[in-house]
Amino acid sequence: MKFEVVLPILGFEDITNYDLEKIDEIFFKLKGDKISFTLINPFALRDYDVVITQNDKDKLNITDESNILILNNMIVATPLQNSTINFASPIIFNMDTQKMGQVILENANNYSLTDPLANYLKGE
């Protein structure tokens, strides 16, 4: 599904559209011009309290009735358990309007920019 960027991904401000591809219930691929990101469903890993500013909600056209998808950028490493996840600034997708953007959570101080995936793997 194609999305219009209304809040750019930090460091990639020149990309105005991305395609989101679902890999499975946990992993997604976000593809832009000459770049792609691996995204992960945070709710499959942990309790996650997403507090978004009203300004960001307005830019994303989010209302109480909006169908939104919240994913986090993951830096994939080898071995996989060495991968890290950015929980402090998720990427929000408004599925109704096809608008997306990266936000810095109002409660970002509760989360890490580089939380190891190993913290959430069973048996680790």
Which of 47-51's residues contact partners 24+ apart within 8 Å by CB, and which partners? 48/87, 49/107, 49/110, 50/90, 50/105, 51/105, 51/106, 51/107
Average model confidence (pLDDT) for the chain?
Answer: 95
- Percentage of the residues of the chain whose pLDDT score is greater than 90: 94
| Predicted pLDDT of residue 123 | 61
The whole-model pTM stands at 0.94
pLDDT score of 65 more than 80: yes
* Residue range 68-124, pLDDT digits in tens: 999 999 999 999 999 999 999 999 999 999 999 999 999 999 999 999 999 998 764
Smallest CA-to-CA distance from 62 within 106, 87, 96, 90 is with 96
Average pLDDT of 17-35? 95
